[in-house]
Structure 1
Amino acid sequence: MFVLELTYTAPLDRIDAALPDHVTWLQGLYASGDIIASGRKLPRDGGIILAVGDDRARIERLVATDPFSVAGLCEYRITEFLATKTSPELAAHRQQPPS
């Protein structure tokens, strides 16, 4: 699993102008099962996305398609972790440490 942390590199008026395209992009990732949560950071200087999977290169390719990334409006920090414990609702995403 991955924590994708966006940090805005542009003024909020430019972020807001690109927000509809970013939301459409997120909706596609929800539909494909690639992400399970997302939202703004507080204070509003970026956002957080929880992405599922174990292929970092694939996640990096997805991040590169974010309209915010394409327009140069944010930077991403990608943190991979093993979700060894989850709520019952996220049981399908539990991971096992490597042997």
Structure 2
Amino acid sequence: MFVITLTYVVPVEDIDALMPGHLEWLDRYYADGTLLASGRRVPRTGGVILARADDRAALDAVLAEDPFHKAGAAGYDVVEFAPSRTAPGLEGLLPAT
């Protein structure tokens, strides 16, 4: 499991212009199960994504397709973690035993 924080490195107007493609990218990877949650940071300086991937290289390949990444509009910080507990209803985030 990975937590990705995006930090915008261009004006928000440039981000807004890239947003339709970014949303299509999100939809594609929600559909295949890679992305689990996402949203804007508050204040709007970037975003946060919760993702599942086989390994860091596979995740990096997915992130490289993001229009924000392709345009150099955001920086990405990635933290990998192994969930061991969840709140009720989120058990699907735990690894299969």
TM-score for the superposition, normalised by structure 1: 0.91
Partner of 1:75: 75
Shift of 1:86: 1.6
Q: Which residues of 2 match residues 9-20 of structure 1 at below 5 A?
A: 9-20=9-20
Match of 1:26 in 2: 26
Gaps of at least 5 residues in structure 2 are: none
Instruction: Kindly tell me the number of residue pairs found equivalent between the two proteins.
Output: 96
Question: Shift of residue 87 of structure 1?
Answer: 2.7
Q: Percent identity?
A: 46
Which residue does 1:95 correspond to in 2?
A: 95
**Distance in 1 separating the partners of 2:15 and 2:51:** 21
Secondary structure of 2:90's aligned partner:
helix
Runs of 4+ in structure 1 displaced over 2 angstroms?
87-90
User: Deviations 1:18-48 (Å, cap 9, x if unpaired)?
Assistant: 0010011001111000011000000100000
Does structure 1 residue 41 correspond to structure 2 residue 49? no
CA distance in 1 between partners of 2:56 and 2:79 (Å): 9
